[in-house]
Structure 1
Amino acid sequence: MDRAAILETCRAELYSAVVSDTLDSLGYRRQVVQSVLQPLQDGMRIVGFARVGIYMPIFHDDATVNVYEHEIRLVDGLKQGEVPVFVCHGNRRIAPWGELLSTRAQYLGSAGCITDGCVRDVDMIREMGFPVFAGGRNPVDTKYRGKMMWADVPGVIGEVEVSSGDLVIADLDGIVFVPESLIETVMTKALAKVRAETTVREELRNGATLVEVFDRHGIL
């Protein structure tokens, strides 16, 4: 299945909880972000493919630092449906994401942004409707404070290992990453679970007990 078809199917039928359950069933039980990364407003949802950028703290700026070089290259290189995942290792002194990066990313068809750092220009990003999940809000620039040092290398965010190309699904329940090698397997099993849950839901609405539906389907 090509990337566009994967995204279309996931957007239409899947959500973080069912994907998390499916990963659990395959033995992947550390794929849900544990830190409190929140959407900028209710209703924001992300389904896309990760592009990882790793930040480190800095405490000065001069002509040799070139603080934005890797950040600019990653954002300018985004493809349809990709999601910048900016790993700051919980550093909330910096806001690596703001309105101008959102504007460029949205133009390129990015599905949103996730960072365990902070975000700024919140009102403008909300007006744009660009989905962002972040560790907090902070008006400060990264200049003098932090720099993306590596792009498209593995990272850890909220205790989850993530690599560029992994599938990410983020909604009001949380953020789950699916390793690239498991995407089609997880999709197949998750879709089967969603469709079985539809049957269970109808049985419950018609008066079946939880014991009855669990005995029949093994789903709750």
Structure 2
Amino acid sequence: MSNSTDAGTGRFGPLPDRPGKIIAIHLSYASRADQRGRRPAAPSYFFKPSSSVAASGDTIERPAGTELLAFEGEIALVIGAPARRVPLADAWNHVDAVTAADDFGLYDLRANDKGSNVRSKGGDGYTPIGPVLIDARAVDPAALRLRTWVNGVLAQEDTTAGLLFPLAQLVADLSQHFTLETGDVILTGTPAGSSVVVPGDVVEVEVDAPATGLTSGRLVTAVTQGAIPFDQTLGSLPAVDDTQRAEAWGSRAAAGLPDADETAEFAPPAPAGGDSAAVPAARAPLSPELREKLLRVPVAGLSGQLRKRGLNNVTIDGVRPIHPGTKIVGTAKTLRFVPGREDLFVSHGGGYNAQKRVFDAVDEGEIIVIEARGETGSGTLGDILALRAKARGAAGIVTDGGIRDFDAVAAIGIPVFSSGAHPAVLGRKHVPWDYDVTIACGGTTVQPGDILVGDTDGVIVLPPEIAAEIADAALAQEDEDAWVADQVAAGHPVDGLFPMNPEWRGRYDAWRQTRS
């Protein structure tokens, strides 16, 4: 490859062919990480489809019914020689070229992607690349500059000296896990300054090496308005809130939002996060059919099926029902307490705080799930709030903290799983901070809308997307286990029967045929 080449302006811009893989990093520039409020200790990645590649001069469509299409100017690396477990010192030798890219994202779809960004960043035209490839051997990877303009106004400017992870490190790191093949593209992250664009805007991105004068030229993308809305029957729909708006625009001020302390007397600051830290939008209600199935299957059976699918960290540990034999099924309504601090309790603990708001907002069939960090040295609710939850039709309450007024709460009759009783009030150990956010309860991550099932064995969290599959599989396993139990009760040894060998499996299948 020559020092600067334009390999064409076809379907894949200057790339010699359709890339086999496009790998993008979540956070890589210090300026962006500081804007997000966290600096990752190691890079994390997501894939983009090659069908998202576009050339300079192409347009990008903002879908009908959406508002938060954001640009992210980036440096793209084009792999020239296959790389598998390459050392850091040799990694740059596997890069053929660098050029400009724009990692467009639709924040309206970001919440439900949980870091994968499949829909929010995978749309057609969401990865413009080019227009000119710069020979990687002709530049210092630590001395590249990235700039982005919107309608001719400079919006982003940073250099690779500001990266948290050097470009060569990304190549070496990824090659530990899979082969980087010739033509693969690595998008190396965006600095601060990313923001929202609207139909009619024109975004330009350029990568250059100021010391040599080599440049990618300006990658030009015009934003147009789409006319076809998303089909509401097929999947999760666009959903935005002020947190998404602030992150898409870059700040609350840029989004035209008031400061957080102006929106509500006791509203906490929005939780900071990286590109994968979003809370999912509201999920579909739990259907009566699925609820009935989950009421029939024990938590242990659900745990076994989740484990078969690689999900092990799904149990809320350390909680027990205050009514023996209780079974609960419902969707999570989350509440987060932070460790007690006197000044924060003054600002967030009194009045109509997050704890009171969530008990007023819980809907029928929801389970209030409380993050108390396993701290049992005070109560996280008492009889008045339990009574309010019951009146609202809540399916139950799960807290990894303590309960005040234990006997009175038990008498109210609402199912409660807790870590035990404690007489102290909330402010001794906790500050009610926020609700409807991702939390950790009993050592397990719980997101709003997750499905919870609890019985005497404990409480388990089901991702809604696979809950029906898990329920059906667990019920089938229960039938099988019941048949095995009958055989053991009849005097058969467990060897070969539990688990079943081919002979016993044949007998069981034959028995099932007689039942169908």
Q: Is structure 2 residue 334 aligned with structure 1 residue 41?
A: no
Q: 1:65 corresponds to which residue?
A: 348
Higher helix fraction (1 or 2): 1
1:55 to 322, 337, 342: 337
Question: Contact 2:450–2:463 at 8 Å: present in 1 too?
Answer: yes
Where 2:407 maps in the other structure, the secondary structure is helix
Question: Contact 1:58–1:147 at 8 Å: present in 2 too?
Answer: yes
Unaligned runs of 5+ in 2: 1-284, 506-516
Q: How many Å separate the matches in 2 of 1:99 and 1:200? A: 45
Map 1:1-220 to 2 at 5 A: 2-11=286-295, 13-34=296-317, 36-60=318-342, 61-62=345-346, 64-67=347-350, 68-143=352-427, 145-213=429-497, 214=499, 215=501, 216-217=504-505
Change (3 A) 1:94 1:2: closer
Q: What is the TM-score when the length of structure 1 is the normalising length?
A: 0.88
Shift of the alpha carbon at 1:91? 2.1
CA offset digits 1:40-91 (Å, max 9, x no partner) = 23222322111111101233354x4353521222111212221111001122
Q: How many Å separate the matches in 1 of 2:447 and 2:286? A: 19
CA offset digits 1:5-49 (Å, max 9, x no partner) = 2212211x1111000000011110111233x22222322232211
Change (3 A) 1:177 1:2: closer
Shift of the alpha carbon at 1:182? 1.9
Where 2:401 maps in the other structure, the secondary structure is strand
Q: What is the TM-score when the length of structure 2 is the normalising length?
A: 0.40
Change (3 A) 1:18 1:181: same
Where 1:79 maps in the other structure, the secondary structure is coil
Shift of the alpha carbon at 1:207? 2.3
Question: Contact 2:348–2:433 at 8 Å: present in 1 too?
Answer: no
Question: Contact 1:162–1:179 at 8 Å: present in 2 too?
Answer: no
Where 1:44 maps in the other structure, the secondary structure is coil
The range that moved more, 145-154 or 101-110, is 145-154
CA offset digits 1:148-199 (Å, max 9, x no partner) = 2121111122221111111111111122111222212211211211122222
Unaligned runs of 5+ in 1: none
User: What amino acid maps onto 1:132 in structure 2?
Assistant: V
Aligned-residue CA RMSD in angstroms?
2.2
CA offset digits 1:89-119 (Å, max 9, x no partner) = 1222331111111111112221211111110
Q: How many Å separate the matches in 1 of 2:465 and 2:431? A: 30
Aligned pair count reads: 216
Q: Which has the larger radius of gyration?
A: 2
User: What amino acid maps onto 1:33 in structure 2?
Assistant: I
Q: How many Å separate the matches in 1 of 2:286 and 2:374? A: 34
Where 2:389 maps in the other structure, the secondary structure is helix
Where 1:118 maps in the other structure, the secondary structure is coil
Where 1:80 maps in the other structure, the secondary structure is coil
User: What amino acid maps onto 1:85 in structure 2?
Assistant: V
Q: How many Å separate the matches in 2 of 1:154 and 1:163? A: 4
Q: How many Å separate the matches in 2 of 1:166 and 1:111? A: 13
User: What amino acid maps onto 1:75 in structure 2?
Assistant: F
The range that moved more, 16-25 or 142-151, is 142-151
Sequence identity percentage: 25
Q: How many Å separate the matches in 2 of 1:2 and 1:101? A: 24
Question: Contact 1:7–1:81 at 8 Å: present in 2 too?
Answer: no
User: What amino acid maps onto 1:100 in structure 2?
Assistant: I
Change (3 A) 1:179 1:204: same
